[in-house]
Amino acid sequence: MRVGVLTGGGDCPGLNAVIRAVTKSLIQHGRCEVLGIEDGFEGLMGGTPRVRTLGWRDVSGILHRGGTILGTSNSGNPLRDEDTVQQVAGHVRALGLDTLVVIGGDGTMSLAHGLQQRIGLPCIGVPKTIDNDIAHCERSFGFDTAVATATDGLRRIESTAYSHHRVMIVETMGRHAGWLALESGIAAGADVILLPEIDFDLSVVVQRCKEREQRQRYTIICIGEGAKERGADLTVRERIAHSPEPMRLGGVANVLRERLQPHLDSEVRATVLGHLQRGGDPTPFDRVLATRFGHRAAQLVIEGASGRMVTLQHGEIGSVAMSDVAHVQRTVPLDHDLIVTARDIGICFGDR
Protein backbone atom coordinates (compact mmCIF):
# COMPACT_ATOMS: atom_id res chain seq x y z
CA MET A 1 0.00 0.00 0.00
CA ARG A 2 1.30 3.47 -0.89
CA VAL A 3 0.06 6.21 1.43
CA GLY A 4 0.45 9.95 0.93
CA VAL A 5 0.64 12.38 3.85
CA LEU A 6 0.18 16.15 3.63
CA THR A 7 -0.31 19.10 5.96
CA GLY A 8 -2.77 21.76 4.82
CA GLY A 9 -3.81 25.21 6.02
CA GLY A 10 -1.89 27.26 8.56
CA ASP A 11 1.06 25.77 10.43
CA CYS A 12 0.49 24.50 13.92
CA PRO A 13 2.54 23.03 16.80
CA GLY A 14 2.27 19.23 16.71
CA LEU A 15 2.17 18.67 12.94
CA ASN A 16 5.52 16.89 12.97
CA ALA A 17 4.35 14.66 15.81
CA VAL A 18 1.44 13.50 13.63
CA ILE A 19 3.66 12.93 10.58
CA ARG A 20 6.01 10.90 12.78
CA ALA A 21 3.25 8.78 14.29
CA VAL A 22 1.51 8.11 10.95
CA THR A 23 4.76 7.17 9.23
CA LYS A 24 6.18 4.96 11.97
CA SER A 25 2.87 3.19 12.58
CA LEU A 26 2.48 2.39 8.86
CA ILE A 27 6.10 1.27 8.47
CA GLN A 28 5.80 -0.88 11.59
CA HIS A 29 2.78 -2.52 9.97
CA GLY A 30 5.19 -3.81 7.34
CA ARG A 31 3.25 -3.47 4.08
CA CYS A 32 3.09 0.29 3.60
CA GLU A 33 5.21 2.89 1.83
CA VAL A 34 4.74 6.49 2.93
CA LEU A 35 5.12 9.49 0.63
CA GLY A 36 5.24 13.02 2.05
CA ILE A 37 3.39 15.55 -0.13
CA GLU A 38 5.13 18.93 0.10
CA ASP A 39 3.35 22.25 0.69
CA GLY A 40 -0.12 20.86 1.23
CA PHE A 41 -2.38 20.27 -1.76
CA GLU A 42 -0.04 22.44 -3.84
CA GLY A 43 2.31 19.44 -3.93
CA LEU A 44 -0.25 17.62 -6.06
CA MET A 45 -0.90 20.61 -8.31
CA GLY A 46 1.23 22.01 -11.13
CA GLY A 47 3.30 20.24 -13.75
CA THR A 48 5.29 17.98 -11.44
CA PRO A 49 4.15 16.58 -8.07
CA ARG A 50 6.38 17.50 -5.13
CA VAL A 51 6.80 14.40 -3.01
CA ARG A 52 9.45 12.57 -1.00
CA THR A 53 9.65 9.15 0.58
CA LEU A 54 9.31 9.16 4.34
CA GLY A 55 11.34 6.48 6.07
CA TRP A 56 11.88 5.72 9.74
CA ARG A 57 14.95 7.96 9.99
CA ASP A 58 13.25 10.81 8.11
CA VAL A 59 10.72 11.25 10.90
CA SER A 60 12.96 10.46 13.87
CA GLY A 61 13.79 13.40 16.14
CA ILE A 62 10.93 15.62 14.95
CA LEU A 63 8.40 14.96 17.73
CA HIS A 64 9.19 18.16 19.62
CA ARG A 65 9.66 20.47 16.62
CA GLY A 66 7.10 23.11 15.68
CA GLY A 67 5.95 23.70 12.12
CA THR A 68 5.95 20.90 9.54
CA ILE A 69 8.85 19.23 7.75
CA LEU A 70 6.63 18.86 4.69
CA GLY A 71 5.71 22.52 4.37
CA THR A 72 2.11 23.72 4.11
CA SER A 73 -0.13 26.16 2.28
CA ASN A 74 -3.50 27.75 2.96
CA SER A 75 -3.99 28.89 -0.64
CA GLY A 76 -3.66 25.61 -2.56
CA ASN A 77 -7.14 24.63 -3.78
CA PRO A 78 -7.21 21.33 -5.73
CA LEU A 79 -10.90 21.94 -6.52
CA ARG A 80 -10.28 25.37 -8.05
CA ASP A 81 -11.48 24.28 -11.51
CA GLU A 82 -11.92 21.13 -13.58
CA ASP A 83 -8.43 21.35 -15.09
CA THR A 84 -6.88 21.42 -11.61
CA VAL A 85 -8.98 18.47 -10.46
CA GLN A 86 -7.87 16.39 -13.44
CA GLN A 87 -4.26 17.47 -12.91
CA VAL A 88 -4.39 16.24 -9.30
CA ALA A 89 -6.07 13.00 -10.41
CA GLY A 90 -3.27 12.40 -12.91
CA HIS A 91 -0.58 12.93 -10.29
CA VAL A 92 -2.37 10.58 -7.88
CA ARG A 93 -2.45 7.84 -10.55
CA ALA A 94 1.19 8.41 -11.51
CA LEU A 95 2.31 8.20 -7.87
CA GLY A 96 0.21 5.09 -7.27
CA LEU A 97 -1.41 6.51 -4.14
CA ASP A 98 -3.91 4.19 -2.48
CA THR A 99 -4.86 6.55 0.36
CA LEU A 100 -4.16 10.14 1.38
CA VAL A 101 -3.81 11.23 5.01
CA VAL A 102 -4.61 14.95 5.28
CA ILE A 103 -3.71 16.88 8.41
CA GLY A 104 -5.55 20.18 8.69
CA GLY A 105 -8.52 22.22 9.83
CA ASP A 106 -12.10 22.41 8.60
CA GLY A 107 -10.98 23.97 5.30
CA THR A 108 -8.55 21.13 4.61
CA MET A 109 -11.20 18.55 5.56
CA SER A 110 -13.64 20.20 3.15
CA LEU A 111 -11.10 20.00 0.32
CA ALA A 112 -10.24 16.37 1.11
CA HIS A 113 -13.93 15.45 1.20
CA GLY A 114 -14.48 17.16 -2.15
CA LEU A 115 -11.41 15.54 -3.67
CA GLN A 116 -12.53 12.10 -2.55
CA GLN A 117 -15.92 12.67 -4.17
CA ARG A 118 -14.44 14.00 -7.41
CA ILE A 119 -11.60 11.56 -8.11
CA GLY A 120 -12.35 8.66 -5.78
CA LEU A 121 -9.15 8.93 -3.73
CA PRO A 122 -9.72 7.51 -0.21
CA CYS A 123 -8.83 10.14 2.40
CA ILE A 124 -8.28 9.98 6.15
CA GLY A 125 -8.30 13.26 8.09
CA VAL A 126 -6.43 14.37 11.20
CA PRO A 127 -7.85 17.52 12.89
CA LYS A 128 -5.35 20.35 13.28
CA THR A 129 -6.03 23.90 14.35
CA ILE A 130 -5.01 26.35 17.04
CA ASP A 131 -8.60 27.63 16.82
CA ASN A 132 -10.13 24.42 18.24
CA ASP A 133 -13.09 24.94 15.91
CA ILE A 134 -13.41 21.57 14.16
CA ALA A 135 -16.85 20.00 14.49
CA HIS A 136 -17.24 16.77 16.47
CA CYS A 137 -13.78 17.16 18.05
CA GLU A 138 -13.55 18.48 21.57
CA ARG A 139 -9.81 19.18 21.40
CA SER A 140 -7.53 19.54 18.40
CA PHE A 141 -3.77 19.39 18.72
CA GLY A 142 -2.03 22.77 18.56
CA PHE A 143 -4.71 24.47 20.64
CA ASP A 144 -3.06 23.77 24.00
CA THR A 145 0.23 25.27 22.78
CA ALA A 146 -1.53 28.34 21.38
CA VAL A 147 -3.38 28.89 24.66
CA ALA A 148 -0.09 28.69 26.57
CA THR A 149 1.55 31.19 24.20
CA ALA A 150 -1.37 33.63 24.29
CA THR A 151 -1.62 33.34 28.07
CA ASP A 152 2.08 34.14 28.42
CA GLY A 153 1.62 37.16 26.16
CA LEU A 154 -1.32 38.44 28.20
CA ARG A 155 0.58 38.02 31.46
CA ARG A 156 3.56 39.94 30.10
CA ILE A 157 1.26 42.72 28.86
CA GLU A 158 -0.28 42.97 32.32
CA SER A 159 3.01 44.01 33.92
CA THR A 160 3.39 47.00 31.61
CA ALA A 161 -0.33 47.83 31.89
CA TYR A 162 0.02 47.91 35.67
CA SER A 163 3.18 50.04 35.54
CA HIS A 164 1.78 52.65 33.13
CA HIS A 165 -1.88 52.52 34.25
CA ARG A 166 -3.05 51.69 30.74
CA VAL A 167 -5.88 49.83 29.07
CA MET A 168 -4.16 47.07 27.09
CA ILE A 169 -5.98 45.20 24.34
CA VAL A 170 -4.52 41.86 23.24
CA GLU A 171 -5.86 40.22 20.08
CA THR A 172 -5.79 36.46 19.64
CA MET A 173 -6.42 34.34 16.57
CA GLY A 174 -9.40 32.01 16.27
CA ARG A 175 -11.33 33.33 13.29
CA HIS A 176 -15.07 33.08 14.05
CA ALA A 177 -14.62 30.82 17.11
CA GLY A 178 -13.69 32.23 20.50
CA TRP A 179 -12.07 29.21 22.15
CA LEU A 180 -8.54 30.63 22.10
CA ALA A 181 -9.54 34.06 23.43
CA LEU A 182 -11.78 32.46 26.06
CA GLU A 183 -9.29 29.99 27.52
CA SER A 184 -6.24 32.25 27.36
CA GLY A 185 -8.25 35.17 28.72
CA ILE A 186 -9.41 33.15 31.72
CA ALA A 187 -5.95 31.65 32.28
CA ALA A 188 -4.33 35.10 32.25
CA GLY A 189 -6.95 36.78 34.42
CA ALA A 190 -8.20 39.20 31.75
CA ASP A 191 -10.77 41.75 32.92
CA VAL A 192 -12.70 41.78 29.63
CA ILE A 193 -12.96 38.97 27.06
CA LEU A 194 -14.59 39.74 23.71
CA LEU A 195 -15.64 36.74 21.62
CA PRO A 196 -16.99 36.34 18.09
CA GLU A 197 -20.01 34.54 19.54
CA ILE A 198 -21.08 37.45 21.77
CA ASP A 199 -21.59 40.84 20.11
CA PHE A 200 -20.33 43.44 22.57
CA ASP A 201 -21.71 46.84 23.52
CA LEU A 202 -18.97 49.49 23.47
CA SER A 203 -20.59 51.37 26.37
CA VAL A 204 -20.34 48.26 28.57
CA VAL A 205 -16.62 47.90 27.83
CA VAL A 206 -16.09 51.64 28.48
CA GLN A 207 -17.91 51.35 31.81
CA ARG A 208 -15.75 48.42 32.93
CA CYS A 209 -12.56 50.31 32.00
CA LYS A 210 -13.74 53.41 33.90
CA GLU A 211 -14.51 51.33 36.98
CA ARG A 212 -11.00 49.90 36.90
CA GLU A 213 -9.50 53.38 36.38
CA GLN A 214 -10.83 54.20 39.82
CA ARG A 215 -9.61 50.98 41.45
CA GLN A 216 -6.74 49.03 39.93
CA ARG A 217 -5.91 51.79 37.40
CA TYR A 218 -5.36 49.36 34.52
CA THR A 219 -7.45 46.99 32.39
CA ILE A 220 -6.60 43.92 30.30
CA ILE A 221 -8.89 43.18 27.36
CA CYS A 222 -8.52 39.91 25.43
CA ILE A 223 -10.30 40.05 22.08
CA GLY A 224 -10.73 37.31 19.49
CA GLU A 225 -9.97 38.43 15.94
CA GLY A 226 -13.55 37.77 14.85
CA ALA A 227 -15.23 39.73 17.67
CA LYS A 228 -17.97 42.17 16.65
CA GLU A 229 -19.52 45.27 18.20
CA ARG A 230 -23.30 45.24 18.35
CA GLY A 231 -24.62 47.40 15.54
CA ALA A 232 -21.18 47.90 13.98
CA ASP A 233 -18.65 45.79 12.14
CA LEU A 234 -15.10 46.28 13.41
CA THR A 235 -13.78 43.16 11.71
CA VAL A 236 -10.67 43.74 9.62
CA ARG A 237 -10.59 41.43 6.61
CA GLU A 238 -8.05 40.72 3.91
CA ARG A 239 -9.10 38.96 0.73
CA ILE A 240 -6.92 36.01 -0.33
CA ALA A 241 -6.81 35.12 -4.01
CA HIS A 242 -7.43 31.46 -5.00
CA SER A 243 -7.82 30.39 -1.38
CA PRO A 244 -10.56 28.09 -0.04
CA GLU A 245 -10.52 30.49 2.96
CA PRO A 246 -11.15 33.73 1.01
CA MET A 247 -11.01 36.11 3.98
CA ARG A 248 -8.21 36.52 6.50
CA LEU A 249 -9.03 38.26 9.78
CA GLY A 250 -6.76 40.37 11.99
CA GLY A 251 -6.41 43.89 13.38
CA VAL A 252 -9.66 44.29 15.29
CA ALA A 253 -7.69 45.25 18.45
CA ASN A 254 -6.41 48.40 16.76
CA VAL A 255 -9.92 49.37 15.68
CA LEU A 256 -11.22 48.83 19.21
CA ARG A 257 -8.39 50.98 20.59
CA GLU A 258 -9.52 53.87 18.37
CA ARG A 259 -13.11 53.38 19.51
CA LEU A 260 -12.24 53.25 23.22
CA GLN A 261 -9.65 56.00 23.57
CA PRO A 262 -12.00 59.06 23.31
CA HIS A 263 -14.05 57.76 26.25
CA LEU A 264 -11.22 57.08 28.73
CA ASP A 265 -8.60 59.02 30.67
CA SER A 266 -6.20 56.07 30.54
CA GLU A 267 -4.00 55.55 27.52
CA VAL A 268 -5.22 52.62 25.40
CA ARG A 269 -2.72 50.38 23.61
CA ALA A 270 -3.27 47.36 21.35
CA THR A 271 -1.14 44.28 20.70
CA VAL A 272 -1.86 41.71 17.98
CA LEU A 273 -0.18 38.43 18.93
CA GLY A 274 -0.53 37.10 15.39
CA HIS A 275 1.66 34.24 14.26
CA LEU A 276 3.43 33.95 17.61
CA GLN A 277 0.48 31.74 18.52
CA ARG A 278 1.26 29.32 15.70
CA GLY A 279 4.97 28.93 16.31
CA GLY A 280 7.28 27.18 18.70
CA ASP A 281 7.54 23.68 20.11
CA PRO A 282 4.28 21.91 21.00
CA THR A 283 3.44 21.42 24.66
CA PRO A 284 3.70 17.88 26.07
CA PHE A 285 -0.10 17.64 25.91
CA ASP A 286 -0.12 18.45 22.19
CA ARG A 287 2.76 16.06 21.47
CA VAL A 288 0.85 13.20 23.09
CA LEU A 289 -2.49 14.11 21.48
CA ALA A 290 -0.89 14.51 18.03
CA THR A 291 0.82 11.13 18.43
CA ARG A 292 -2.47 9.47 19.38
CA PHE A 293 -4.21 11.09 16.41
CA GLY A 294 -1.46 10.01 14.01
CA HIS A 295 -1.52 6.44 15.27
CA ARG A 296 -5.30 6.23 14.91
CA ALA A 297 -5.08 7.64 11.37
CA ALA A 298 -2.61 4.89 10.46
CA GLN A 299 -4.97 2.28 11.94
CA LEU A 300 -7.83 3.60 9.80
CA VAL A 301 -5.62 3.34 6.71
CA ILE A 302 -4.68 -0.26 7.54
CA GLU A 303 -8.35 -1.11 8.17
CA GLY A 304 -9.20 0.18 4.70
CA ALA A 305 -11.37 3.01 5.98
CA SER A 306 -12.18 5.98 3.78
CA GLY A 307 -13.72 9.40 4.32
CA ARG A 308 -13.11 9.36 8.09
CA MET A 309 -11.52 11.96 10.35
CA VAL A 310 -9.81 11.06 13.61
CA THR A 311 -11.41 12.77 16.57
CA LEU A 312 -11.40 13.17 20.34
CA GLN A 313 -14.80 12.90 21.97
CA HIS A 314 -15.51 12.39 25.67
CA GLY A 315 -11.79 11.85 26.18
CA GLU A 316 -11.65 8.92 23.75
CA ILE A 317 -9.91 8.74 20.36
CA GLY A 318 -12.34 7.75 17.61
CA SER A 319 -13.40 8.86 14.15
CA VAL A 320 -16.29 10.57 12.39
CA ALA A 321 -17.37 10.87 8.79
CA MET A 322 -15.40 13.60 7.03
CA SER A 323 -18.65 14.76 5.43
CA ASP A 324 -19.94 15.67 8.92
CA VAL A 325 -16.95 17.97 9.44
CA ALA A 326 -16.68 19.61 6.02
CA HIS A 327 -17.92 23.23 5.92
CA VAL A 328 -18.85 23.16 9.63
CA GLN A 329 -17.32 25.25 12.40
CA ARG A 330 -17.42 24.51 16.13
CA THR A 331 -18.06 27.73 18.02
CA VAL A 332 -18.37 28.43 21.74
CA PRO A 333 -21.91 27.72 23.03
CA LEU A 334 -23.27 30.72 24.95
CA ASP A 335 -24.15 28.47 27.90
CA HIS A 336 -20.72 26.78 28.00
CA ASP A 337 -19.45 26.20 31.52
CA LEU A 338 -16.34 28.31 30.86
CA ILE A 339 -18.50 31.33 30.03
CA VAL A 340 -20.68 30.72 33.08
CA THR A 341 -17.57 30.39 35.26
CA ALA A 342 -15.98 33.53 33.83
CA ARG A 343 -19.13 35.60 34.40
CA ASP A 344 -19.43 34.36 37.98
CA ILE A 345 -15.88 35.49 38.79
CA GLY A 346 -16.51 38.94 37.36
CA ILE A 347 -15.10 38.78 33.83
CA CYS A 348 -16.93 41.10 31.43
CA PHE A 349 -17.96 39.86 27.97
CA GLY A 350 -19.10 43.29 26.82
CA ASP A 351 -22.80 42.41 26.81
CA ARG A 352 -25.42 43.51 29.25
Residue 10 counted as an annotated binding residue:
yes
170 neighbors 157 (Cβ within 8 angstroms): yes
Paired sense of beta strands 268-272 and 99-104, if any = unpaired
Paired sense of beta strands 99-104 and 2-7, if any = parallel
SS3 at position 7: strand
Residue 278 counted as an annotated binding residue:
yes
Among the options 131, 133, 144, 191, which is catalytic? 131
SS3 at position 200: strand
Residue 225 counted as an annotated binding residue:
yes
Residue 174 counted as an annotated binding residue:
yes
Residue 215 counted as an annotated binding residue:
no
Residue 277 counted as an annotated binding residue:
yes
Paired sense of beta strands 219-224 and 247-249, if any = unpaired
SS3 at position 342: helix
Residue 276 counted as an annotated binding residue:
yes
Cα 227 to Cα 29, 181, 216, 340: the distances in Å are 47, 10, 26, 19
CA angle 230/236/237 to nearest 5° reads: 120
104 neighbors 76 (Cβ within 8 angstroms): no
Residue 166 counted as an annotated binding residue:
yes
What residues form DSSP beta bridges with 239? 247
The set of residues, in sequence order, having a beta carbon less than 8 Å from that of 15 and lying 6+ positions away, is 7, 67, 68, 72, 103, 128, 142, 290
Residue 168 counted as an annotated binding residue:
no
Residue 175 counted as an annotated binding residue:
yes
Residue 275 counted as an annotated binding residue:
yes
Cα 256 to Cα 5, 183, 199, 248, 346: the distances in Å are 41, 21, 13, 18, 21
The Cα–Cα gap between 285 and 283 comes to 5
The Cα–Cα gap between 20 and 2 comes to 16
Residue 115 counted as an annotated binding residue:
no
Residue 130 counted as an annotated binding residue:
yes
> Is 131 labeled as catalytic in the residue annotation?
yes
Residues of the binding site for ATP: 10, 105-108
Which residue numbers belong to the known binding site?
10, 105-108, 129-131, 166, 173-175, 225, 269, 275-278
Instruction: Tell me the binding residues for Mg(2+).
Output: 106
Query: Could you list the active site residues?
Result: 131
Binding residues for substrate: 129-131, 166, 173-175, 225, 269, 275-278
